[in-house]
């Protein structure tokens, strides 16, 4: 079953947002590595990889529904960070933005009666709950330890344990 033109366009826009997410997390990872926060740098690099998977999943879905993946412009990442607290807060804000975008897509699919896309987007809705929870946990961890250098370092290193 072919996607509507409006849904194909919206999914392609989300595809670019997911690619930007990967680009953003890679930039954040490089900033944290440069600043010596190797645990968080590792965590962010894995997040980059996950965001690419999210993008590819959307692209595959578009094509499975007889659509064409469009390669829109990916915005430049212009902000650099020197503190994990700033990165974690920016990451949380970004995940909230992505969650809003996914919810809008879901509402569009529902309004168009596109049940298949609704079902497809359920996975992203569930994933965003996890993404925001992880982001909150990291913000809280860095905030709770920022006045204790040893605890701050220990929290950073604990983030290296992320496997996927």
pLDDT in tens, the chain (164 residues): 899 999 999 999 999 999 999 999 999 999 999 999 999 999 999 999 999 999 999 999 999 999 999 999 999 999 999 999 999 999 999 999 999 999 999 999 999 999 999 999 999 999 999 999 999 999 999 999 999 999 999 999 999 987 76
- What residue numbers does the annotated binding site cover? 18, 51, 54, 95, 128
Residue whose structure tokens are 């499975």: 64
Task: Quickly list H helices, the chain.
Answer: 5-34, 38-64, 84-112, 115-145, 149-158
Closest by alpha carbon to 28, among 8, 7, 6, 43? 43
pTM comes to 0.95
- What residue numbers does the annotated binding site for Fe cation cover? 18, 51, 54, 95, 128
Question: Per CATH, the architecture of 5-70+80-161 is what?
Answer: Up-down Bundle (1.20)
């Amino acid at each position: 079953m072919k996607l509507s033109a409006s849904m194909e366009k919206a999914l392609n826009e989300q595809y670019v947002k997911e690619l930007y997410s990967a680009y953003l997390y890679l930039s954040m990872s490089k900033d944290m590595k440069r600043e010596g926060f190797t645990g968080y740098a590792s965590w962010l690099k894995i997040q980059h990889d996950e965001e690419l998977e999210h993008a590819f999943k959307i692209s595959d879905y578009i094509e499975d529904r007889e659509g064409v993946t469009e390669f829109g412009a990916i915005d430049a990442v212009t902000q650099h960070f020197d503190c994990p607290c700033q990165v974690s807060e920016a990451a949380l804000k970004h995940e909230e933005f992505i969650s809003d975008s996914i919810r809008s897509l879901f509402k569009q699919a529902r309004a168009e009666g596109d049940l298949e896309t609704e079902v497809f987007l359920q996975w992203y809705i569930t994933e965003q709950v996890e993404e925001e929870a992880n982001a909150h946990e990291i913000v809280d961890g860095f905030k709770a330890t920022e006045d204790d250098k040893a605890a701050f370092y220990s929290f950073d290193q604990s983030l290296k344990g992320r496997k996927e």
